């Protein structure tokens, strides 16, 4: 608790500002804009989860949508078949995604850089293709699973409207941020950053590199599973096309646009990815053109991301080097 | 036995598409250490440009010079246009970013991919387009009981010809040695008087041109093209690149061919619906046991 207390004492100005904005916002706008903010929250959660793997440890993971899909499908299948309440499934989906990550990543965790990248892409694609192919008649094939329930907080308190979902997702994002900040300042967070900066040096100072890399995947996947759980109950249905390679690429961009390892950066990155196409809706067909160009321009002017992490963040030197051996 | 041989031929045909695209990935990766996500869209754009050439001029060209010239002009125009697109993308999206680091370049490449894909959609529309039918006369050869179409023979011959030319340039000419030296160590190569910008020019001319050629051939083979197909082919070709050992050109060629054959054998003997799962599983297994790809060299870790 002392770590948390210290963080609260040094709270920067933007946190109360953001909190106030978050609480006032849904009372000022229509349901449509509340829903947009809900998906902003989902992407923020997904960005935070990938940030553990990519930002903190520097492991290229382009298959994160696979973990997200596991969380969503576990929720949808267990809820529609066995009527298990959604909130009870929240830890179960997180655990399922984490377990999946542990099993899948154990044999591949020693791979470096782009090789790990392609294996995670392969893993994500296998999950998606398996969902389409409907193994054991569980996943409903390309149509997916329908009729997922609303979460019930307590008897009589059912989360069934846009505004309630909005507060649910942002409460979960807030709790995750608290957890992740204390993780960043813990022994684990320092070990992760050490591995990212120089994996071999980390190994020689007694850090169990394999163990900590796996831990990052497991925690990241668990958080993505939580996002999947909330997503499934909000949409009331899940289908394989929500979990494509494209979705993994978006998460990757969220972390890099925001700034690797920087939590406020990831939130901004998620905002960019989820709000930009909505704000530029008047441009209709041209908005994705603009979106692609903005990504390029952004990397020219802020290569370290919009809000790079200062202490313990990615140093400029390691960005300059072609290959960050070991870390990458 | 007959099924096996026919699937091998089909697999080699698809594999040669993957191999041609994979060469572009591999060259860019070798020199810049950048995964060029826009490469799949170079391929798609080539396919669409070939489509336009054939739709607009196929009748006239075919009547005057026969079907061969129609096909060759489509390939030449597509490849030629894509060299320009490739150089533009390099100049606008990559050159300002890659001195800063690898990860910003990845985002920039994804941005370029989104940009190109939507450009294709805006120009040619979001619907599927169909290549003109019977561009190449449908002729079947019987070889010891197995069927090969004339189109397959053309695709195989043309892609093996292109791959051999590229192999010759890279492995046997002085300029190829310069490219290999740059891929090995850019700073030392520059100190030895190799013009880095000329190497970049070379890889961003040839890579997209090969991709565009594959695009036209895919259009003729499947006759149906869509603006999103670059993702799928790009992903497979990138898989082939890694399978062969990234940055290794003969590796990329063999990786592509092996991937195509595996895919077709998987479709024939296991299940058509699970063939891509099968391909990715093989990839993961290969990387678990050979972490640098099938033909990759073991690189010592820097301390």
Selection from A158-172, A207-221, B143-157, B236-250 with the highest mean pLDDT: A207-221
Q: How far is Cα A51 from Cα A55, in angstroms, rounded to an integer?
A: 4
**Average pLDDT rounded to a whole number, residues A168-197:** 89
Q: What percentage of chain A has pLDDT greater than the value 70?
A: 90
Task: Report pTM.
Answer: 0.83
Assigned domain for A303 exists = yes
C-alpha dihedral sign at A102, A198, B28, B11: negative
pLDDT in tens, A236-246: 888 888 888 88
pLDDT in tens, A84-141: 888 888 899 999 999 999 999 998 888 877 788 888 988 998 999 888 887 787 787 7
Q: How confident is the model at residue A194 (pLDDT cuts 50, 70, 90)?
A: confident
Assigned domain for A327 exists = no
Contact A126 B277 (CB under 8 A): yes
Report the residue of chain B nearest A326, measured CA to CA: B301
Contact A110 B291 (CB under 8 A): yes
Average pLDDT, chain A: 83
* pLDDT on residue A221: 94
Measured in angstroms, the CA of B40 and the nearest CA of chain A are apart by: 13
Contact A108 B102 (CB under 8 A): no
Selection from A30-34, A140-144, A169-173 with the highest mean pLDDT: A169-173
Preferred mutation among B41, B108, B117, B235 to probe A, highest tally of A CBs within 10 A? B108
Measured in angstroms, the CA of B116 and the nearest CA of chain A are apart by: 8
Measured in angstroms, the CA of A160 and the nearest CA of chain B are apart by: 35
CB nearest to A289's CB, from B37, B115, B283: B115
Choose between A20 and B260: higher pLDDT.
B260
Full pLDDT tens readout for chain B, 303 residues: 777 888 888 899 999 999 999 998 888 888 888 888 899 999 999 999 988 888 887 666 666 666 677 788 888 989 999 999 999 999 888 888 877 777 788 888 888 998 999 899 889 888 888 887 766 777 777 777 778 888 888 899 999 999 999 999 988 999 889 988 888 888 888 899 898 888 988 999 999 999 999 999 999 888 889 888 888 898 889 888 888 887 788 888 999 999 999 888 888 888 777 888 888 888 888 888 887 777 766 554 444
Report the residue of chain A nearest B91, measured CA to CA: A296
What count of residues does chain A have? 328
* pLDDT on residue B126: 85
Angle between helices A31-50 and A64-82 (to 10 degrees): 120
Contact B97 A111 (CB under 8 A): no
For residue A247, is pLDDT > 50? Answer: yes
Whether A135 and chain B come into contact, CB under 8 Å, resolves to no
DSSP B270: T
Contact A245 B274 (CB under 8 A): no
* pLDDT on residue A5: 67
Report the residue of chain A nearest B111, measured CA to CA: A292
Measured in angstroms, the CA of B59 and the nearest CA of chain A are apart by: 33
CA atoms within 13 A on the CB side of A263: 18
DSSP string covering B72-114, please?
A: HHHHHHHHHHHHHHHHHHIIIIITTTTTT-HHHHHHHHHHHHH
Assigned domain for A284 exists = yes
Cα B267 to Cα B3, B109, B136, B280, B282, distances in angstroms? 12, 32, 27, 13, 14
* Chain B residues close to A108, C-beta within 8 Å: 284, 287-288
Contact B110 A252 (CB under 8 A): yes
Q: How far is Cα B91 from Cα B104, in angstroms, rounded to an integer?
A: 15
Interacting residues of A47 by C-beta distance below 8 A, sequence separation 6+: A251, A254, A255, A258, A266, A267, A269, A270
Report the residue of chain A nearest B33, measured CA to CA: A322
Q: How far is Cα B32 from Cα B34, in angstroms, rounded to an integer?
A: 5
Backbone angles phi and psi of A138, in degrees to 5: -95, -40
Q: How far is Cα A65 from Cα A71, in angstroms, rounded to an integer?
A: 10
pLDDT in tens, B157-202: 999 999 999 999 988 999 889 988 888 888 888 899 898 888 988 9
Contact A322 B102 (CB under 8 A): yes
Assigned domain for A221 exists = yes
How many domains does the structure of chain A reveal? 1
Q: How far is Cα B55 from Cα B73, in angstroms, rounded to an integer?
A: 12
Q: Which of A178, A187, A220 is nearest to A1 (CA)?
A: A178
Q: Dmax over Cα atoms in chain A, in whole Å? A: 57
Cα B161 to Cα A44, B69, B151, distances in angstroms? 49, 18, 15
- Which of A 95-124 lie inside 8 A of B, CB atoms? 107-108, 110-112, 114-115, 117-119, 121-123
**Average pLDDT rounded to a whole number, residues A187-199:** 87
Whether A33 and chain B come into contact, CB under 8 Å, resolves to no
ipTM rounded to 2 decimals = 0.78
* Chain B residues close to A132, C-beta within 8 Å: 273
* pLDDT on residue A222: 94
CB nearest to A299's CB, from B33, B104, B115: B104
Element (H, E) at A172: helix A162-184
**Average pLDDT rounded to a whole number, residues A174-197:** 89
**Average pLDDT rounded to a whole number, residues A65-80:** 91
Q: Which of A128, A100, A107 is nearest to A225 (CA)?
A: A100
Q: Which of A262, A305, A248, A234 is nearest to A79 (CA)?
A: A234
Domain that holds residue A140: 2-320
Report the residue of chain B nearest A318, measured CA to CA: B101
Element (H, E) at B130: strand B129-130
CA atoms within 13 A on the CB side of B265: 15
Assigned domain for A325 exists = no
CATH number at residue A260: 1.10.3470
Whether A129 and chain B come into contact, CB under 8 Å, resolves to yes
CB nearest to B104's CB, from A249, A291, A303: A303
How many interface pairs between A and B have CB atoms less than 8 angstroms apart?
140
* Chain A residues close to B291, C-beta within 8 Å: 110-112, 115
Whether A214 and chain B come into contact, CB under 8 Å, resolves to no
Backbone angles phi and psi of A57, in degrees to 5: -105, -15
By 3-state DSSP, what share of chain A in percent is helix, strand and coil, each rounded to 5?
75, 5, 25
Assigned domain for A326 exists = no
Structural domains of chain B ordered from first start: 2-289 (1.10.3470)
Cα B17 to Cα A316, B27, B83, distances in angstroms? 40, 16, 18
Contact A303 B101 (CB under 8 A): yes
Assigned domain for A265 exists = yes
Report the residue of chain A nearest B35, measured CA to CA: A114
* Chain B residues close to A309, C-beta within 8 Å: none
Q: How confident is the model at residue A279 (pLDDT cuts 50, 70, 90)?
A: confident
- Least reliable range by pLDDT among A197-206, A253-262, B60-69: B60-69
Angle at B247 between CA B243 and CA B249, to 5 degrees: 80
Q: How confident is the model at residue A6 (pLDDT cuts 50, 70, 90)?
A: low
Report the residue of chain A nearest B187, measured CA to CA: A322
């Amino acid at each position: 608790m002392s770590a948390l207390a210290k963080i609260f004492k040094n709270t920067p100005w933007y946190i109360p500002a953001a909190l106030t904005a978050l609480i006032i916002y849904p009372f000022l706008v229509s349901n449509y804009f509340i829903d947009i903010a809900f998906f902003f929250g989902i992407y923020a959660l997904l960005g935070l989860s990938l940030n553990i793997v990519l930002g903190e440890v520097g492991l290229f993971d382009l298959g994160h949508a696979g973990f997200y899909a596991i969380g969503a499908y576990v929720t949808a299948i267990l809820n529609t078949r066995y009527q298990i309440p959604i909130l009870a499934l929240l830890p179960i989906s997180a655990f399922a995604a984490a377990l999946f990550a542990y099993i899948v990543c154990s044999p591949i965790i020693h791979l470096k850089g782009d090789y790990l990248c392609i294996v995670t892409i392969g893993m994500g694609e296998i999950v998606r293709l398996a969902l389409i192919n409907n193994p054991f008649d569980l996943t409903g094939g390309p149509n997916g699973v329908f009729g997922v329930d609303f979460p019930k907080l307590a008897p009589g308190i059912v989360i069934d409207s846009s505004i309630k979902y909005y507060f649910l997702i942002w409460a979960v994002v807030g709790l995750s941020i608290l957890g992740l900040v204390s993780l960043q300042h813990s022994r684990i967070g320092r070990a992760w950053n050490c591995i990212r900066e120089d994996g071999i040096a980390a190994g020689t100072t007694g850090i169990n590199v394999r163990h900590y890399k796996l831990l990052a995947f497991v925690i990241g996947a668990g958080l993505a599973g939580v996002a999947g759980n909330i997503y499934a109950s909000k949409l009331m249905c899940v289908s394989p096309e929500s979990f494509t390679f494209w979705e993994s690429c978006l998460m990757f961009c969220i972390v890099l646009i925001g700034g690797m390892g920087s939590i406020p950066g990831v939130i901004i990155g998620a905002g960019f990815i989820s709000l930009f196409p909505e704000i530029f809706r008047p441009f209709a067909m041209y908005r994705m053109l603009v979106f692609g160009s903005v990504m390029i321009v952004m990397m020219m002017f802020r290569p370290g991301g919009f809000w790079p992490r200062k202490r313990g963040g990615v140093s400029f030197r390691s960005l300059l080097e072609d290959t960050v051996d070991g870390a990458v | 036995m007959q099924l096996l041989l026919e699937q091998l031929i089909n697999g080699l045909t698809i594999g040669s598409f993957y191999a041609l695209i994979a060469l572009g990935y591999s060259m860019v990766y070798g020199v810049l250490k950048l995964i060029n996500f826009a490469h799949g869209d170079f391929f798609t754009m080539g396919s669409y440009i070939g489509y336009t050439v054939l739709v607009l001029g196929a009748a006239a060209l075919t009547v005057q010079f026969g079907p061969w010239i129609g096909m060759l002009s489509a390939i030449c125009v597509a490849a030629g246009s894509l060299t320009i697109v490739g150089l533009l993308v390099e100049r606008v999206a990559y050159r300002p970013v890659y001195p800063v680091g690898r990860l910003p370049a990845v985002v920039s490449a994804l941005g370029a991919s989104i940009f190109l894909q939507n450009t294709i959609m805006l120009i040619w529309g979001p619907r599927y387009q169909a290549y003109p039918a019977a561009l190449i006369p449908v002729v079947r050869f019987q070889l010891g009981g197995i069927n090969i179409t004339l189109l397959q023979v053309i695709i195989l011959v043309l892609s093996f010809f292109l791959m051999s030319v590229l192999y010759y340039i890279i492995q046997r000419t002085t300029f190829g040695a310069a490219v290999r030296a740059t891929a090995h160590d850019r700073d030392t190569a520059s100190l030895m008087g190799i013009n880095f910008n000329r190497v970049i020019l070379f890889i961003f001319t040839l890579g997209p041109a090969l991709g565009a050629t594959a695009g036209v051939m895919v259009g003729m083979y499947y006759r149906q093209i869509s603006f999103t197909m670059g993702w799928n082919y790009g992903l497979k070709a990138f898989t082939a690149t890694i399978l062969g050992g990234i940055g290794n050109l003969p590796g990329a060629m063999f990786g592509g061919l092996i991937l195509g054959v595996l895919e077709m054998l998987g479709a024939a003997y296991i299940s058509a619906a699970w063939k891509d799962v099968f391909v990715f599983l093989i990839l993961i297994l290969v990387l678990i046991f050979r972490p640098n790809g099938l033909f990759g060299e073991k690189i010592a870790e820097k301390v």
